[in-house]
Amino acid sequence: MSTTFQLDTATSRANPTPQPMKRLTVPAIKRRKSDGKTDEPLVMLTAYTARQAQLLDPHCDMLLVGDSLGQVIYGLPSTLPVTLDMMIAHGAAVVRGSYHALVIVDMPFGAYEASPQDAFRAASRIMAETGAAAVKLEGGQAIAETIAFLSARGIPVMAHVGLTPQAVNALGGYAARGRSQEEHEKILADGKAVADAGAFAMVVEGVVEPIAVALTGAVEVPVIGIGASAQCDGQVLVTEDMLGMFERVPRFVKRYGDMAGYISETAANYASEVRSRAFPTEAQTYQPKS
Ligand code: KIV
């Protein structure tokens, strides 16, 4: 029996009814890749709120509370100003809104780089205060020791290699990585290092396709691609990108909907009915009992 509360879809208020459920576990996700192959690719999307999690949960193996919420939810210029408290608040909301998918919460910039001990303090707060099953952190060989430290202490880690957005200042932008032989070798070495350190899976972001293919073949753990290759063990996108919430569509994004158009059109209808006094009608107003 779970302690996760079901959200009442009718009212969007938390309804404290414990739900029996079988949530996917870290070992179950790892087992989806066996003998170097994943028969059915793993499906991951970002989620930041309880209601969004509730809608995505039946379709996903993993929900990632990404620090991309900095730009997507808070309008920040990058992921760098995102705080641990922000990640914890959104992580807890996503856990409350889901029952099936494995929930992974990003560790924000500054919370884990200085030492494995700092990383443990931040990661253990995430695990204890959100109920998520794992954390994700960015980096390769340089962060492998921290991944080993967390993994050995009961904190499953998803790694993130290739284009690592928290390193935007060092990388000089968000362009795809791995076009030189040196960078190609470095990304492969990063991926192998985090797998050897005990990461249960990794995201590979924004790399030329041959790197993604080689990395997927080189490690035993699932490799989840974004701007990578259909041959990865799974795929992730930022949900709002996939839903068509933004005008700018990076090359690696496929818009499966036009949510921005739908919201604009619906808000325009509402505004027009308010201005013409067509809303509210009798159906939406209370009358005294006769
Ligand atoms: O923060 C995020 O949303 C991510 C995904 C893009 C992988 O790290």
In a domain, 274, yes or no: no
Residue 277 CA to ligand 1 center (angstroms) comes to 44
At residue 245, does pLDDT exceed 80? Answer: yes
Is 272 a member of any domain?
A: no
User: Does residue 140 form part of some domain?
Assistant: yes
pLDDT tens digit string along 128-168?
999 999 999 999 999 999 999 999 999 999 999 999 999 99
Range of the domain at 253: 2-259
Percent of the chain whose predicted confidence (pLDDT) is above 70: 93
Q: Is residue 234 part of a domain?
A: yes
Q: Is the pLDDT of residue 43 over 60?
A: yes
**216 CB near ligand 1 (under 6 Å):** no
pTM: 0.93
Residue 22: pLDDT over 70: yes
What is the identity of the amino acid at 206? Answer: G
Question: What integer is the mean pLDDT of 243-252?
Answer: 94
The DSSP result for 121-173, as a single string, is HHHHHHHHHH--SEEEEEBSGGGHHHHHHHHHTT--EEEEEES-GGGHHHHTS
Ligand 1 mean position to 286 CA, how many Å? Answer: 46
Please work out whether the CB of residue 238 comes within 6 Å of at least one atom of ligand 1: yes
Tokens of 147: 């991944």
Q: What pLDDT does residue 8 have?
A: 59
Active-site residue flag, 205: yes
Say what the pLDDT of residue 3 is.
Answer: 47
State which ligand 1 atom lies nearest to the alpha carbon of 224: 7
Report pLDDT for 290: 81
Digit-coded pLDDT (tens) for 91-104: 999 999 999 999 99
Domain count, the chain: 1
User: Is residue 68 a part of any domain in this protein?
Assistant: yes
Per-residue CA distances from 220 to 91, 128, 141 (Å): 28, 29, 17
State yes or no: cis peptide before 280, omega within 30 of 0.
yes
Mutate to test the pocket of ligand 1, among 238, 239, 245, 252 (most ligand atoms within 8 A of CB): 238
CATH number, residue 234? 3.20.20.60
Residues 69, 180: Cα–Cα separation, whole Å: 31
Q: Using CA atoms of 161, 58, 50, 28 in order, give the dihedral in degrees to the nearest 10.
A: -50
CA of 147 relative to ligand 1 center, distance in Å: 18
Residues in a beta bridge with 42: 234
| 214 neighbors 186 (Cβ within 8 angstroms) | no
| Nearest C-alpha neighbor of 111 from the set 149, 138, 71 | 138
Binding site membership of 203 for ligand 1 (Cβ less than 6 Å): yes
Residue 20 has pLDDT above 90, yes or no: no
- Residue 270, in any domain of the structure: no
Q: Assess if residue 289 is contained within a domain.
A: no
What does residue 56 show for φ and ψ, rounded to 5 degrees? -85, -30
Would residue 275 count as lying in a domain?
A: no
CA distances (Å), origin 16, targets 2, 7, 100, 133, 219: 11, 8, 17, 21, 42
If pLDDT is split at 50, 70 and 90, which confidence band does 73 have? very high
